[in-house]
């Protein structure tokens, strides 16, 4: 009975969880290629991609929206290499003569999307750029 109550409580709490403001899971190259097209309204763009990071206007007061997304991927490895004089201290103990090495690598990916609107508030042009380093 107690575990059922705990499971029910966790389910209710996790069901109410949100991803927080600014979370942009929809901002991918695939989403831009599939969902963004010329003639869309700003409301339609916002419903697909969310709020832009930057809004600017040109000399004719036409808006441009800029979306920036940066993601980081980290990989950490922990390797134990042993020499020929291995022996177990006990069932859970360390290996004698073992050497431990750690390595870590990370890479970052960026996606920038620029959407330009015309005087009617419709998409007149859009572009995107990705990079990885």
Q: Which of the four pLDDT bands, split at 50, 70 and 90, describes residue 16? A: very low
- The string of pLDDT tens digits covering residues 17-59 is 333 334 456 689 999 999 999 999 999 999 999 999 999 999 9
Within-domain flag for 116:
yes
Supply the range of the domain harboring residue 70.
24-132
Within-domain flag for 119:
yes
Within-domain flag for 18:
no
What percent of the chain is modeled with pLDDT above 90?
A: 48
* Spatial distance between the Cα atoms of 58 and 47, rounded to a whole number of angstroms: 23
46 DSSP assignment: H
* Spatial distance between the Cα atoms of 35 and 77, rounded to a whole number of angstroms: 39
Q: Is 18 helix (H, G, I), strand (E, B) or coil?
A: coil
> Number of folded domains in the chain?
1
Within-domain flag for 94:
yes
Helical (H) or strand (E) element with 64: strand 63-82
* Spatial distance between the Cα atoms of 80 and 99, rounded to a whole number of angstroms: 6
- Give residue 7's pLDDT: 42
Within-domain flag for 83:
yes
- Give residue 72's pLDDT: 87
Average pLDDT over residues 80-105: 62
Within-domain flag for 15:
no
Within-domain flag for 6:
no
Task: Give the pTM.
Answer: 0.61
């Amino acid at each position: 009975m107690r575990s059922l109550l705990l499971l029910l409580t966790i389910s209710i709490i996790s069901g109410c969880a949100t991803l927080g403001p600014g979370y942009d899971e929809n901002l991918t190259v695939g989403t831009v290629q599939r969902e963004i097209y010329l003639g869309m309204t700003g409301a339609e763009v916002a419903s697909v991609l969310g709020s832009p990071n930057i809004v600017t206007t040109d000399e004719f007061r036409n808006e441009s929206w800029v979306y920036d997304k940066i993601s980081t991927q980290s990989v950490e490895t922990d390797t134990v290499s042993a020499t020929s004089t291995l022996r177990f201290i006990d069932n859970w103990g360390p290996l004698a003569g073992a050497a431990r090495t750690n390595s870590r690598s990370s890479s970052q990916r960026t996606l920038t999307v620029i959407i330009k609107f015309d005087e009617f508030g419709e998409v007149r042009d859009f572009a995107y750029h990705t990079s990885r380093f």
